[in-house]
Amino acid sequence: MTVMQTTPADTARTAPADICSAPPRRHPRADGQDSYTISEVVAFTGLTAHTLRWYERIGLMPHVDRSHTGQRRYSNRDLDWLDFVTKLRLTGMPVADMVRYAELVREGESTYGERRELLESTRRDVLNRIAELRDTLAVLDRKISFYAMEGTTR
Amino acid sequence: MTVMQTTPADTARTAPADICSAPPRRHPRADGQDSYTISEVVAFTGLTAHTLRWYERIGLMPHVDRSHTGQRRYSNRDLDWLDFVTKLRLTGMPVADMVRYAELVREGESTYGERRELLESTRRDVLNRIAELRDTLAVLDRKISFYAMEGTTR
DNA sequence: TATGGGGTTGGAGTGCACTCCAAGCAAGCG
DNA sequence: CGCTTGCTTGGAGTGCACTCCAACCCCATA
């Protein structure tokens, strides 16, 4: 790893972010060869380059490193983080809250408790959303079956 | 119904909207006595007066009637409609699509087919959302259990 | 050496869904 | 009568999450 010459300390500082979200995802390239351009990340994540740069500006990314010419080079860890962030996004969590979580990650292990609380409250939100959606589903099904009945002739 | 002196034709034009969403909801006042001010509707629905007026402006309401002084008087039917609209909203359906649906309702029975299609596509969206949320839930649970393990000492 | 395709920046612009404002009217009350 | 409360309007403003722009740099290929 030419670009990836991080010291153990470095790794320890940035690692806790995704320690437990890896299992169900395969990276495009193995650790050690993981150095993706912004457009590769666009292809993998579905986010736009604009959004990726914007995420970085607002402090939602854990410091993406750069090529010798100053271009962004994303790692597997960054991909995992983006994956997680994307999941949080679609729970409806506001970006500001995700930035808060990113800050906690940067602050290190001492924030485990607060992070857990944040995730648990998010978890509750998700369960509520699911319940609401089920409810809506029931309403939709009732209406659909009405239209299916009345609309067979047309 | 004093206020509700609609002709049969009138009823036919506006009724199909909610024909099949009544069951699980009780109205604050019985049909015939149903004439709510905007602030009552605010209390019942949780929407703001601003939003209620705005919904009307953009064509999302099926013509709310007025008192002799020009104030809005909502009916039970309007409450049902708002209920339905609120459910659609939290599926993430854009307001423009709901306006489209409202237009179809105004156009009468001939649009049953199109309405059903719209609802069915919404239904698919809801199922997808639920699946995504489940996925997210799994990720959250993994992370939470990690923090629970590591964080017990703090 | 020119050209094309990628990348960079700060700051401005966009679209959605509200949300608010100012100015005004009508009814009820002391 | 004056005051408050609640409602009316069109149009302007807000906040969020992007999204785009102009101007620039760097490098590989023809």
CATH number of residue B57's parent domain: 1.10.1660.10
Please give the pLDDT value at position B21. 45
Please give the pLDDT value at position B83. 93
The widest CA-to-CA distance across chain A, in whole angstroms, is 72
B127 and B103 share a domain?
Answer: no
Among B19, B140, B151, beta carbon nearest to A112? B151
User: Is B14 a domain residue?
Assistant: no
User: Is A2 a domain residue?
Assistant: no
Interface touch B123/A146, C-beta < 8 Å: no
The widest CA-to-CA distance across chain B, in whole angstroms, is 72
User: Is A20 a domain residue?
Assistant: no
User: Is B10 a domain residue?
Assistant: no
B96 in contact with nucleic chain C (CB within 7 A): yes
- The nucleotide lying nearest B70 (C-alpha to C1') is D8
Helix A112-150 to helix A95-107 angle (10° resolution) is 150
The yes-or-no verdict on residue B70 having pLDDT over 60 is yes
User: Is A62 a domain residue?
Assistant: yes
- Residue-averaged pLDDT of chain B: 82
Which contiguous run of DSSP H or E holds residue A101?
Answer: helix A95-107
User: Is A112 a domain residue?
Assistant: yes
* B27 phi/psi in degrees, rounded to 5: -85, 150
B125 and B141 share a domain?
Answer: yes
The yes-or-no verdict on residue B44 having pLDDT over 50 is yes
B92 and B153 share a domain?
Answer: no
Q: Could you read off the pLDDT tens digit of each residue along chain A, which spans 154 residues?
A: 333 333 333 333 334 444 444 455 678 888 888 899 999 999 999 999 999 999 999 999 998 999 998 999 999 999 999 999 999 998 889 999 999 999 999 999 999 999 999 999 999 999 999 999 999 999 999 999 998 886 554 4
Sorting pLDDT into bands at 50, 70 and 90, what band is B4? very low
B54 and B76 share a domain?
Answer: yes
A88-97, A118-127, B29-38, B80-89: segment of lowest average pLDDT: B29-38
Task: Look at residues B92, B107, B122 and tell me which one is the last residue of a structural domain.
Answer: B107
B119 and B77 share a domain?
Answer: no
User: Is A98 a domain residue?
Assistant: yes
Helix B76-89 to helix B49-57 angle (10° resolution) is 90
R_g of chain B computed on alpha carbons: 20
Percent of chain B clearing pLDDT 90 (strictly above): 60
Among A116, A130, A147, beta carbon nearest to B130? A130
Helix B76-89 to helix B95-107 angle (10° resolution) is 140
Please give the pLDDT value at position B41. 92
Among B90, B113, B144, beta carbon nearest to A119? B144
Q: Which residue has the higher pLDDT, B91 or B19?
A: B91
Range of the domain at A109: 27-150
Within residues 30-69 of protein chain B, the ones with CB less than 7 A from nucleic strand D are 37-40, 49, 53, 57
Rounded to an integer, the average pLDDT of B119-126 is 94
B103 and B125 share a domain?
Answer: no
CA of A64 to C1' of D30 (A): 35
DSSP string across B48-113: -HHHHHHHHHTT-SS--EE-TTS-EEB-HHHHHHHHHHHHHHTTT--HHHHHHHHHHHHH-GGGHH
Number of structural domains (chain B) is 2
Rounded to an integer, the average pLDDT of B128-136 is 93
pLDDT digits over B15-26, tens only? Answer: 444 444 445 567
B92 and B131 share a domain?
Answer: no
Q: How distant is the Cα of A132 from the closest Cα of chain B, in angstroms?
A: 8
B101 and B38 share a domain?
Answer: yes
- A-chain CB neighbours of B154 within 8 Å are 110, 112-113
B144 and B69 share a domain?
Answer: no
The yes-or-no verdict on residue B136 having pLDDT over 80 is yes
Q: Which residues from A are below 8 Å from B when comparing CB atoms?
A: 19-21, 23, 84, 87-88, 90-91, 109-110, 112-113, 115-116, 119-120, 122-123, 126-127, 129-130, 132-137, 139-148, 150-151, 154
Please give the pLDDT value at position B30. 84
DSSP 3-state assignment of A66?
Answer: strand
- B-chain CB neighbours of A110 within 8 Å are 154
B51 and B92 share a domain?
Answer: yes
A15-19, B64-68, B83-87: segment of lowest average pLDDT: A15-19
The yes-or-no verdict on residue B12 having pLDDT over 60 is no
